[in-house]
Structure 1
């Protein structure tokens, strides 16, 4: 009789486990998402990076990830945190603009402008909070906005003239975030660093200073891992490290003829709004009735491609945007756009086609829910969102990503060899039960 009872208890336990996902049965782990702005996919290949190398052994590394079109900071970060294409979330540029008033605000001045970010799509912070979790944004784009009356539980906003490369401050930020997790029970924190984007712009991706900042990032990752251990978070904190776009060297005179769009059309006469002096991506509103004339003129300009918005390739996921102006211009890789004369000083930039390898970026992940020593095939950054929802055990908001792209990274993924199929175990135990009876 005792043997029957014990076997029945085992069967009951297995049947209960079969009734709900094992991830739900386990304790909910926390999640830290870190973005290093402008970290191109291959930046660690010509630098000694022992901590990044160790992450590939202790966790997951993707060969690279593809950012959305646009390959810019605000649009790309908001795609990561919402899982929506740019045409859906409508953060269509780094600059906040208004084509009627000709308003143009630089990236850092948009960070608290809710009217730029709140377009009906909920970011992960708000979705998680609505399901009882506690979240924070540390300098992460979009984190400081108000979403139809809802705000992120805790927000740190990056100051306008904030220095990007202060390694001491980087460590202090990690210490603060670790306290949020360990002492205040936050479930999700997003942490943003402005490098190596800044050095990529000012010095170029091939400059020795870029290698120096990658080594600093590597030391910071080493510091992060020690801080995780010191705060006893190793068994409860998952970490994803990624970026928003890559970086390429800008082609300049005397090696090439730089693009000056006013050579090919009279912008003052034909355009009512423009953002053209901005790396590899430009937007333009023609005067009424002048769209075809503008399109034809720009089609004759070298080293760029011009699109009517309604004819943009579907793979760009931009054509449905209501906010984007009627004409979109994309420079060939390395050819920045100048409107009336050359004002561009950056040595490196982004904003180019997301299919270019120089625009690809990194992905690393480690923690209790991730497999070890796992190399992932490349994937689009939009798929990070459902992965984060899975890790946080929350129901995602509507999104364009797919968990099937990333679930193989997880310890308990549905097709993995690390979990015995309940469908096999259950009949066997039932057979044992009846035999015992």
Structure 2
């Protein structure tokens, strides 16, 4: 009898230990998603970043994340918040456009135009709100739109002349967000910063000012962690830090010749609509009956690849888009598309093939539900969405991601394995007391 009692105590302890991650999941924790626009996957490797380094010890890190094709701000951010490929959510450019009317709306004005974002795909804010959660968007692309009559509970939009690198404001924004969590019981907040994208464009990814802004981001991460502690959220708040795309150095004269597309075809004669002066990605609608002529002419242009939309590689996840014009152009890494002769001032840019390492982004996460000192293999950004739904304990909307890709980042991963282990231990316990 004494031996049975000892076995009972041992097996009971093992069951409790095995079941711990499952019981932990009963409490719904909050989630903060932070995006630093244009934070290339390796930007912290040539800069002293003690706070980002500490995150690797205190949380999880992906070696890098692959953004969707297109490697632009709005398309990529909307893939993260919806878990859908660009051809599904249809935010196919930073600019809102209409290829029939020739409408072109600049990026920051597009952020408030619901007709650009509301295409039948529900972002995480709305899905969470429909399940009783309270959500907010702080400058995050898509947060200011209306989705079939539903708006995000609280949405702040950047003003047109907003200064992106004000460190004091960065800290004030963190304080606001922490008060939303602690004082107003928000469950999900998405927070967007426009750096290091601006510095990367203006100075290039190899410029010393890019390194300075990474150090500023690192200090901001340190301030964030202090704010989490001050608001007593260490055991209640999960944080994901990521980005939308990387950045590469633009090749310029006299090293290379710019790609001036009007040298290879008469755009005025052959095209009815175009956006060809926007980094490494271009779109064009040929005039009726001119698609093959346009395609053939652009095929002779150097340092780019031209596609008919219907023949885009499946890996691009763009061919099914109804919004994209019939001709898509992707410049080789570092070459900018120039339709005629426009003085191109950017020293860094994106919009290139998402398979290029310079387009890859960062991923860091920490909080009560994440493992510590864990580095994962790379994954596509589309898989972040089901991870966020798991953290918020909500049913996801239809999406293209898979939780199996990212759930290894969490405590108690392999929940079915844990339940199986518990069941086996319970069987052992029953055997102890029923054996003759």
Same fold per superposition (TM over 0.5): yes
User: CA RMSD of the aligned region, Å?
Assistant: 2.7
The secondary structure found in structure 2 opposite 1:406 is: helix
Structure 1: segments with no counterpart, 5+ residues = none
Aligned-pair distance for 1:26?
2.1
- Which whole-Å CA distance do the structure 2 matches of 1:22 and 1:265 have between them? 63
Q: Which residue of 1 aligns with 2:336?
A: 336
Deviation at 1:336? 0.4
Partner of 1:256: 256
Distance 1:433 1:135, change over 3 A: farther
Match of 2:201 in 1: 201
- Matching residue of 2:77: 77
Q: Return closer, same or farther for 1:63/1:23 CA change in 2, 3 Å cut-off.
A: farther
Match in the other structure for 1:303: 303
What pairs with 1:34-433 in structure 2 (closer than 5 Å)? 34-414=34-414, 421-433=421-433
Q: Aligned partners of 2:75 and 2:339: how far apart in 1?
A: 22
Q: Secondary structure at the match of 1:424?
A: helix
Judged with a 3 Å threshold, the aligned counterparts in structure 2 of structure 1 residues 24 and 116 are, in CA distance, closer, same or farther, namely: farther
The normalised TM-score by structure 2 is: 0.95
Give yes or no for contact 2:18–2:421 (8 Å, CA) kept in 1.
no
Deviation at 1:432, TM superposition (A): 3.7
Listed one character per residue, the Cα deviations across residues 128-168 of structure 1 (whole Å, up to 9, x for unaligned) are: 00011000000000001000001100111111110000000
TM-score by length of 1: 0.94
Contact 1:259 1:337 in 2 (8 A): yes
Deviation at 1:433, TM superposition (A): 4.5
Gaps of 5+ in 2: none
Instruction: Determine the C-alpha separation between the residues in 1 that align with 2:347 and 2:49.
Output: 24
Q: Structure 1 residues 320, 164: CA separation in 2 closer, same or farther (over 3 Å shift)?
A: same
CA contact (8 A) 2:36 2:242 kept: yes
Q: Which secondary structure does the structure 2 equivalent of 1:430 belong to?
A: helix
Check the 8 A contact 2:261/2:301 in 1, yes or no: yes
Q: CA deviation at 1:429?
A: 2.4
Rounded Cα–Cα distance in structure 2 between residues aligned with 1:372 and 1:102: 51
> 1:14–1:426: 8 Å Cα contact kept in structure 2?
no
CA offsets 1:60-92 (integer angstroms, 9 cap, x no match): 011100000000000000000000000000000
Distance in 2, matches of 1:64 and 1:51, equals: 18
Partner Cα distance (1:416, 1:61) in 2 = 24
Count of aligned positions: 435
d(CA) in 1 for partners of 2:151 and 2:17?
Answer: 36
State the shift of 1:11 in Å.
11
Equivalent pair of 2:28/2:393 in contact (CA under 8 Å): yes
- Kept in 2: contact 1:23–1:393 (CA 8 A): no
